């Protein structure tokens, strides 16, 4: 379970609409949260699956954690895994790799947002 900045963000990030299994098709969905990248995006309702990365919460204005997308690719690369070709380990399918400190040792000195 990930702590989001506020109740509304938590609601949005965990939103699972019965009517729209595809979150991009749901008009109620405004924010998409990608746990494995710890990345927040504003959903663009243009019929596709576009989202815009956001740095601040649109509801409470809190600064959102930095995207770990680059680090995700780096960490897999360090293991010799090509995410496009190979099976991605299950701990890399969500935020477990971040919580378990599986990040690339080269970048481990950086500040990583931690759950309490
Ligand atoms: Zn819906
Ligand atoms: Zn918020």
Ligand at minimal distance from the CA of 57 is 2
Q: In this structure, is residue 37 part of a structural domain?
A: yes
> Which domain, by its residues, includes 86?
69-105
Residue 88 included in any domain: yes
Q: Say if 41 falls within a structural domain.
A: yes
pLDDT category at 111 given cuts 50, 70, 90 is low
In the beta sheet, which residues pair with residue 31?
42
Q: Note whether residue 110 is domain-resident.
A: no
Q: Which residues contact 59 (CB under 8 A, 6 or more apart)?
A: 6, 8, 9
Do 76 and 43 reside in the same domain of the chain? no
- Rounded average pLDDT over 4-25: 92
Number of separate domains in the chain: 2
The Cα–Cα gap between 65 and 70 comes to 14
CA pair distance 115, 79, nearest whole angstrom: 25
Quick check: helix, strand or coil at residue 19?
coil
Q: Residue 26 Cα, ligand 1 centroid: separation in angstroms?
A: 4
pLDDT digits (tens, 9 = 90+) for 52-109: 999 999 999 999 999 999 999 999 999 999 999 999 999 999 999 998 887 655 544 4
């Amino acid at each position: 379970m990930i702590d989001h900045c506020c109740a509304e963000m938590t609601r949005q990030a965990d939103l699972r609409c019965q009517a729209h299994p595809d979150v991009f098709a749901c008009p109620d969905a405004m924010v998409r949260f990608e746990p494995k990248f710890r990345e927040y995006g504003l959903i663009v309702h243009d019929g596709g699956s576009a989202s815009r990365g956001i740095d601040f919460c649109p509801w409470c204005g809190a600064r959102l954690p930095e995207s770990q997308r680059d680090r995700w690719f780096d960490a897999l690369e360090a293991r010799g895994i090509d995410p496009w070709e190979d099976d991605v380990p299950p701990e890399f399918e969500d935020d477990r790799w971040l919580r378990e400190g599986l990040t690339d040792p080269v970048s481990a000195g950086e500040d990583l947002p931690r759950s309490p």
